[in-house]
Amino acid sequence: MFPTEFTPYLSFIGGVTLGLSAIWLMLFQGRIAGISGIIKTALFQKDGRAWRLMFLVGLVLGGAIGFHLTGFDFSYREGFPISLVIIGGVLVGLGTSMGSGCTSGHGVCGISRLSIRSIVATVVYLSVGILVASLTAKVLL
Amino acid sequence: MKNNMSALIAGTIFGFGLIVSGMSNPDKVMNFLNVFGHWDPSLLFVLGGAVICTFFGYRIVLKRNAPLLEREFFLPIKTALDKRLLTGAALFGAGWGMTGFCPGPAITGLAFGVVEPIIFLASMLCGYLIMNRLPHK
């Protein structure tokens, strides 16, 4: 793994920004900002597809704006095996679908609502994530 | 129409936050999860900032009878800590730890115009399709 710099202030500010987006979506539309759910519903359900697609377009747009303003370029990982990206992607699809959420829906919105389901889900995916990332790093190094 | 505009703004703020926080950097995510390597605890600050902000924001917003553009709030109603939740969270954690990608940053990563997020999202879609075909949804 390529070492990264510890960025507490920027990360906190970025986190608050994610929170502001979650509050916006609840205030205006009464919706949870759960990205996996938004993607899945936009793909497989006609009803309410438009606003979800617009949210996803916004994610890319916000990424482009962030990239141009900050110059943070996260586009390139040297030598990361594409097979892991594929297996991991399938697992994330299966898991978020079965567990009804990911880092945004369970992690940010769920914990903020003090949902027991979301708190338990977050503990589980963080623990497994730590285990698998540590193993992956060992294998790749 | 207003809903679409609102969602576009919310998504843009979210995508911007993913870049600023470093959450869109798969290396940073993996360095956070790999506590035995070059540990980078930044993502704790992302989660902390997001949860503190959202916790207080939701408390104010959810006092209203309804959101500004809809007749009601659409909050999750499930409460059971069942096998599906635990298995799903474990599978998600495995995929997240293996790649450093979760769904939001993968979408935002499309802004960089590289192939990795596209492959990740296509694989994620396969995961959704497999789940849709499994019995007992």
Per domain, the residue ranges of chain A are: 8-140
Q: Which residues contact B89 (CB under 8 A, 6 or more apart)?
A: A95, A99, A106, A120, A121, A122, A124, A125, A128
Chain A residues inside the 8 Å CB shell of B94: 88, 91, 95, 128-129, 132
Chain B residues inside the 8 Å CB shell of A41: none
CA distances to A76, B38, B78, B111 from A89, in Å:
18, 24, 26, 18
Chain B residues inside the 8 Å CB shell of A28: 3, 6, 10, 67-69
Could you write out the DSSP letters of every residue in A79-106?
A: T--HHHHHHHHHHHHHHHHHTT--IIII
The answer to whether A62 and A45 are in contact (CB under 8 A) is no
Q: Within an 8 Å CB–CB cutoff, is residue A11 touching chain B?
A: yes
- Does residue A79 have a pLDDT over 90? no
Selecting from B24, B46, B70 the residue whose C-beta is nearest the C-beta of A74 gives B24
- Does residue A78 have a pLDDT over 90? no
Amino acid code (one letter) for B83:
K
Residue A113, judged by CB atoms within 10 A of its CB (0-12, 13-18, 19+), counts as buried
Instruction: Say what the pLDDT of residue A76 is.
Output: 74
Q: Hey, is B113 helix, strand or coil?
A: coil
CA distances to A1, B9, B55, B112 from B38, in Å:
8, 35, 31, 25
If you ran DSSP here, which 8-state letter would residue B44 be given?
H
Instruction: Say what the pLDDT of residue B36 is.
Output: 92
Q: Within an 8 Å CB–CB cutoff, is residue B67 touching chain A?
A: yes
Cα radius of gyration rounded to whole Å, chain A = 17
Count of CA atoms in the C-beta half-sphere (13 A) of B75: 18
If you average pLDDT over every residue of chain A, what do you get? Answer: 95
* CA A32 – CA B73 distance, rounded (Å): 9
> How close A38 comes to chain B (CA, Å)?
10
Give residue for tokens 């594409």: A82
CA B28 to chain centre: 16
Chain B residues inside the 8 Å CB shell of A6: 40-42
Q: Is the ipTM value over 0.85, yes or no?
A: yes
> How close B67 comes to chain A (CA, Å)?
5
Block means of pLDDT (10 residues each) for chain B, 137 residues, are 96 98 95 94 98 98 97 94 96 97 96 94 97 79
Are B4 and A50 a contacting pair at CB < 8 A?
Answer: yes
The answer to whether A116 and B86 are in contact (CB under 8 A) is no
* CA B13 – CA A21 distance, rounded (Å): 6
Confidence band, pLDDT 50/70/90 cuts, at residue A77: confident
Token pair belonging to B24: 């869109």
Give the model confidence (pLDDT) of A6-63 as tens digits: 999 999 999 999 999 999 999 999 999 999 999 999 999 999 999 999 999 999 999 9
Token pair belonging to B61: 């917003």
- Print the domain residue range for B56: 2-133
